[in-house]
Amino acid sequence: MTKQRQKRKLDHIEYALRLGKPETSSGFEEIRLINDSLPGFSLGDVDTTCVFMGKRLAAPLLINAITGGHPAVANINKSLARVARQTGVAMAVGSQMAGLEDPGLRQTYEVARQENPDGVLLANLSAGAPPEQAAAAVEMISANGLQLYLNVPQELAMREGDRDFNGVIDNIREVTSRLSVPVVVKEVGFGLSRETISALYNAGVRYVDVGGQGGTNFIEIEDMRSGQKSSEGVRNWGIPTAVSLLEGLSLELPILIIASGGLETGVDVAKALALGTGMAGMAKIFLKELTDKSEEGLINKITGIINELRLVMLMSGAKNLAQLVKKPVLVTGSVAEWMIRRGIDIDKYARR
Ligand SMILES: Cc1cc2nc3c(=O)[nH]c(=O)nc-3n(C[C@H](O)[C@H](O)[C@H](O)COP(=O)(O)O)c2cc1C
């Protein structure tokens, strides 16, 4: 089991990097911000900082869960953590089950905390993991929060994957109530629906990461691993990221919604923040930048995204994130069509 899990870590990195352009869109092209020709302040006045999990970040950005659990990936977590420290963004490690099963692998996760002692670091486990394991994962890296991932389509596409999803929401409730740090429930690229987010809120969860469709596709990755090919309908299963965000935001609950799944640019990040999300996460494009280039390359990528966010904030007339979320946003095309059918009001974004 442990050996298989370890090999899977390497497969996921190898195949994620081999994925072509996603077949489906995250929907951000249907979200439009409006030009403000008279912002009345200078670029130097724009403030992208925020507080997340009690700590100040340079911008609301998260290097999302990628890896850990094989000796060959320790260097990736080391580099990601160094970059997170230097750029002032948050980071999550990949699933820590391998480290819980084999203490010899703990270092592949611990290195992230060693490299970034004061930063925001999130632990990561399946949402089915019991409270004792959840607490141990947090302790392993002195995490500021714990991500619990939901990934039914991936498990089903995985030959060795789970087939029984009984009791997951009860487990999430239990973990959330017993843990000393906040729990973030995340998808891995299939999107959270309004109904799921509502159920998570009722279970005590206050942070959700929509992990929507339009970026890394784990059905394709599992197909590459198994040599089988899922049908097009199954391969394209999921809720586009922009749709999932609007579904979650429409509940108007006191929760922090994290945008992720196919985000690529500072413009995407600005659009997500303007709608009302509190953070933006990216996984594959950061991994690719690091492996194609270097730590320096990834630092440039992240500072480039923050700089673009800054430009878009100025062009929208928003000096800070609190002002950005009051700016008008247009939702058009297929994303708007989805909202109409689901009875979700999008005019309130366009007319504010
Ligand atoms: C190589 C790789 C490994 C991943 N491993 C995990 C994991 O262990 N736990 C998890 O919650 N998500 C994992 N993810 C999912 C990401 O955190 C993220 O939700 C997903 O890739 C969508 O974001 P993206 O389109 O920016 O890549 C992984 C992603 C990649 C690319």
Strand, helix or coil for residue 132: helix
Nearest to 216 by CA among 189, 183, 195: 189
CA torsion sign, 290 to 57 to 265 to 62?
Answer: positive
φ, ψ of residue 206 to 5 degrees: the values are -120, 0
How high is the pLDDT of residue 2? Answer: 74
Backbone angles phi, psi at 283, to 5 degrees: -120, -70
- Write down the pLDDT at residue 174: 98
Instruction: Give the containing element (helix H, strand E) for 122.
Output: strand 121-126
Task: Using alpha carbons, list the distances in angstroms from residue 273 to 98, 181, 197, 280.
Answer: 34, 24, 18, 8
What is the DSSP code string of 284-338? HHHHHHHHHS-HHHHHHHHHHHHHHHHHHHHHHT-SBHHHHTTS-EEE-HHHHHH
Q: Candidates 7, 14, 188: which one to mutate for ligand 1, based on the most atoms within 8 Å of Cβ?
A: 188
244 lines ligand 1 (CB under 6 A): no
Which pLDDT score is estimated for 45? 98
97 CB less than 6 Å from ligand 1?
no
Does the C-beta of 277 come closer than 6 Å to ligand 1?
Answer: no
Instruction: Give me the helix-helix angle, 266-275 and 295-316, nearest 10°.
Output: 50
Q: What is the pLDDT of residue 5?
A: 85
Q: Is 149 close to ligand 1, i.e. is its CB under 6 Å away?
A: yes
Rounded to 10 degrees, what is the CA torsion of 77, 83, 87, 91?
-10
Of 147, 151, 127, 183, which is closest to residue 68 (Cα–Cα)? 147
Backbone angles phi, psi at 150, to 5 degrees: -110, 130
Nearest to 15, CA basis, from 254, 278, 288, 335: 288
Asked whether 8 lines ligand 1 (CB < 6 A), one says no
Query: pLDDT tens string for the chain (352 positions)?
Result: 678 888 999 999 999 999 999 999 999 999 999 999 999 999 999 999 999 999 999 999 999 999 999 999 999 999 999 999 999 999 999 999 999 999 999 999 999 999 999 999 999 999 999 999 999 999 999 999 999 999 999 999 999 999 999 999 999 999 999 999 999 999 999 999 999 999 999 999 999 999 999 999 999 999 999 999 999 999 999 999 999 999 999 999 999 999 999 999 999 999 999 999 999 999 999 999 999 999 999 999 999 999 999 999 999 999 999 999 999 999 999 999 999 999 999 999 999 9
| Minimum-distance ligand 1 atom for the alpha carbon of 94 | 8
Rounded to the nearest angstrom, the distance between the alpha carbon of 294 and the centre of ligand 1 is 20
User: What is the C-alpha to C-alpha distance for residues 61 and 254, in angstroms, rounded to an integer?
Assistant: 20
User: Would you say the CB of residue 215 lies under 6 angstroms from ligand 1?
Assistant: yes
Ordered domains of the chain (ranges, CATH) = 2-30+48-294 (3.20.20.70)
Q: Are 63 and 89 in contact (CB under 8 A)?
A: yes
Residues facing 213 on adjacent strands: 240
Q: Binding site for substrate: what residues are annotated?
A: 8-9, 154
Looking at ligand 1, which atom is closest to the CA of residue 26? 25
Does the beta carbon of 261 lie inside 6 Å of ligand 1?
Answer: yes
Can you give the pLDDT at residue 1?
A: 62
Cα of 200 from ligand 1 centre, angstroms? 20
